[in-house]
């Protein structure tokens, strides 16, 4: 496994490789967990080589404290990647990847950027769009893998490649969960014992919402979810949305033939957790 700490060294290393090998790419911000490893496995199964990037991207954080506290575990991560036979790790510094100009470009993603995370995390998707586009230009993978936990991000990246005619196939991968249902996330490591204990309530509520959605109106389900969180002593709901899975527009009533998903963002103390579920 080769660890490249600069853009130039990765480009040099991939120059010949890409001539005769397909490249599967998994962009991450490190603090790797089973969810990341499952993306890497998919990349390895469908490509000749796997490249994983580890970069905590400053421009996608709307909260300075969250950026400061984001877990950085490069040594542990590289060991883990070595164990799973990853081929290349790309772990650049911010100045290197941003060429000493750390700021994000303004993007429009056909309105996808205004919903949910876009509403509550100002500039987040400009930061994601900027770094993912840059990573794609450097790695030039055949396929790139993203988890459905960040479902809105996945849709936005699909839009990014079509808008800019980037010849990369975007592969969405199922959410990986802990045994108790909590969606795997690097942020879970920062939960207090009490908050870790209660956090599976998020997925439990989504599952129950899905059952209710079969028989009840979107409005009723929405009210029910809000009520569950109002009564919860440790979790604070930021949003629950029932949205069209393609457009991510919130719906107030179901229409035949459309696919819907339920999306939650909630605070467990200071830690913000997100999760989502297909409702039909």
Residues with Cβ within 8 Å of residue 28, at least 6 apart in sequence: 36, 52, 53, 54, 55
Residue 24 binds to ligand PAF (criterion: CB under 6 A): no
Give the CA diameter of the chain.
59
DSSP assigned state of 85: T
Binds ligand PAF by CB under 6 A, chosen from 38, 57, 78, 152: 57
Check 36, 124, 176, 195 and give the catalytic one.
36
Binds ligand PAF by CB under 6 A, chosen from 27, 35, 92, 262: 27
What is the per-residue DSSP string for 36-71? Answer: HHHHHHHHHHHSSEEEEEE---GGG-S-HHHHHHS-
The least CB distance from residue 2 to ligand PAF, in Å, is: 20
User: Per-residue contact track with ligand PAF, 105 to 134, x per CB under 6 A?
Assistant: -----------------------x--xx--
The least CB distance from residue 30 to ligand PAF, in Å, is: 9
Indicate the residue among 54 and 242 with the shorter CB distance to ligand PAF. Answer: 54
Indicate the residue among 47 and 104 with the shorter CB distance to ligand PAF. Answer: 104
Give catalytic status of residue 36 as yes or no.
yes
Is residue 229 within 8 A of residue 201, CB to CB? The reply is no
State how far the Cα of 215 lies from the Cα of 108, in Å rounded to an integer.
36
The dihedral of CA 56, 200, 277, 243: what is its sign? negative
**What residue ranges bind ligand PAF (CB under 6 A)?**
27-29, 57, 60, 128, 131-132, 150, 153
Kindly list the catalytic residues.
36
């Amino acid at each position: 496994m080769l660890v490249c700490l600069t853009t130039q060294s990765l480009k040099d290393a991939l120059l010949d490789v890409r001539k005769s090998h397909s490249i599967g790419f998994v962009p991450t911000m490190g603090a790797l967990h089973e969810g990341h490893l499952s993306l890497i496995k998919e990349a390895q199964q469908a490509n000749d080589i796997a490249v994983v990037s580890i970069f905590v991207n400053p421009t996608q954080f709307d909260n300075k404290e969250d950026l400061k506290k984001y877990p950085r575990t490069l040594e542990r991560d590289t060991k883990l990647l070595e164990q799973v036979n990853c081929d290349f790790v790309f772990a650049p510094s911010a100045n290197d990847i941003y060429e000493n100009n750390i700021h994000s470009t303004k993007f429009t993603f056909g309105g996808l950027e205004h919903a949910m995370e876009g509403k509550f995390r100002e500039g987040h998707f400009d930061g994601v769009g900027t770094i993912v586009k840059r990573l794609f230009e450097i790695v030039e993978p055949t396929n790139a893998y993203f988890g459905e936990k960040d479902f809105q991000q996945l849709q936005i990246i699909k839009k990014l490649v079509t808008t800019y005619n980037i010849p990369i196939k975007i592969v969405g991968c199922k959410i990986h969960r802990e045994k108790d249902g909590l969606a795997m996330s690097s942020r879970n490591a920062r939960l207090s014992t009490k908050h870790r204990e209660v956090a599976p309530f998020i997925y439990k509520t989504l599952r129950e919402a899905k059952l209710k959605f079969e028989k009840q109106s979107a409005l009723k389900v929405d009210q029910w979810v809000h009520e569950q969180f109002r009564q919860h002593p440790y979790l604070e709901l930021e949003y629950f949305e029932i949205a069209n899975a393609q457009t991510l527009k919130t719906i107030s009533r179901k229409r035949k033939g459309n696919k819907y998903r339920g999306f939650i963002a909630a605070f467990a103390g200071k830690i913000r957790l997100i999760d989502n579920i297909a409702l039909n």
